[in-house]
Structure 1
């Protein structure tokens, strides 16, 4: 699968690496192709760097891991992405796109892509290594596109997560961002550290 990574910092870099290992073709979408964060990602297999527009046009799936407030500008830069899947991995903790509650809502309004929220509920360390030895962490997603959910669920497993649970439709996107605050609260504000993660367990009957 051809995947564009818009935002090559910690989260985008971790997922770019995991998906390149899974033999996907990775297009890093950056502002300046000669000067960007995450140049080391070019050492990964199947990985190349492009402008945001070129990366988006060549991809079937577009992961956005940037500050959420620039979502409207990204939507314009990407061009026609109708039918493609946009995975919004951002969180509107300190800022949001003008006129929209989240980046998800901006992309849904400004593009004709299949938009989904995912990879926002834990730290990048857990995307680099979701296997804790005795347990493998889970991921969560939200959105109204069943096509996007099927693709994103598979990509979450290929990134190493045990399962990607359906949090609900687009009306649950804000709730999923609030869920991310739970990890931030425990890891940062409660001092538990970043090596913690979420696992859904079921009682055996």
Structure 2
């Protein structure tokens, strides 16, 4: 699969590096690609199959585009990608964080993912990779068992593609329903953040158990 990762911070860098290690073709879209591997968090040299290019070059011809920028950079990032997102699976890995680690959901209580869909109406948006920290994306297994990664979206084919990418990293991939369920996923992210920074640390994760 050809994956464009827009944003190469801790989340984008970790996800992209791990997918490249599993044989996917990964293009990191950054504003200054001349920095090469130095522009991508998570290590020194890039894995085979990974490259650093401009965001537009990364998205061109990609099967999946992963949005992993800070929330306040989302509108500009989507505007820059423009028609390159038409018909593409767009994974929203962001959280709409406002001042004081609050959710900036607006008066209609929409989710960040629904805003992303409104800004990129021809993309097939799926919410995923927003409910835990990047260290769990590097290693989602605790005590020999996978931790959970929920995903939500309205397009079945897009969700199937994202499920494969979630499972490839070792997560328990669970379909949370339509894109509107991103509201709950973003609140779940806030719970993880509040616990992690409230004293429990980053080495915590959620697991879904079944009887």
- Using the size of structure 1 for normalisation, the TM-score is 0.90
Encode CA deviations 1:124-161: one digit per residue, 9 max, x unaligned. Answer: 00000011233211100112111121011110010121
Match of 1:86 in 2: 90
Q: Does 1:173 align with 2:182?
A: yes
Shift of 1:97: 9.3
Partner residue in 2 for 1:117: 127
- Among 150, 168, 188, the alignment partner of 1:158 is 168
Report the Cα distance in structure 2 between the residues aligned to 1:122 and 1:97, rounded to whole angstroms.
19
| 1:183 counterpart = 2:185 | no
Question: Quick one: distance in 1 between partners of 2:27 and 2:105?
Answer: 25
- The change in CA–CA distance for 1:99 and 1:86 in structure 2 (over 3 A counts) is farther
Relative distance call for 1:41 and 1:82 in structure 2 (3 A) is farther
Question: What is the aligned partner in structure 2 of residue 48 from structure 1?
Answer: 51
Unaligned runs of 5+ in 2: none
2:23 aligns with 23
Q: Distance in 2 between matches of 1:102 and 1:171?
A: 7
Task: Tell me the number of residue pairs that the alignment of Structure 1 and Structure 2 aligns.
Answer: 201
Q: Whole-Å Cα distance in 2 between the matches of residues 130 and 123 of structure 1?
A: 10
- Against the structure 1 CA distance between its residues 98 and 186, is the aligned structure 2 distance closer, same or farther, given a 3 Å change threshold? closer
TM-score of the superposed pair, with normalisation by structure 2:
0.87
Query: Which stretches of structure 1, 4 residues or longer, exceed 3 Å deviation after superposition?
Result: 39-42, 95-103
**Gapped runs of 5+ residues in structure 1?**
none
Q: Structure 1 residues 98 and 180, CA, compared in 2 at 3 Å: closer, same or farther?
A: closer
CA contact 1:14–1:127 (8 Å) conserved in 2:
yes
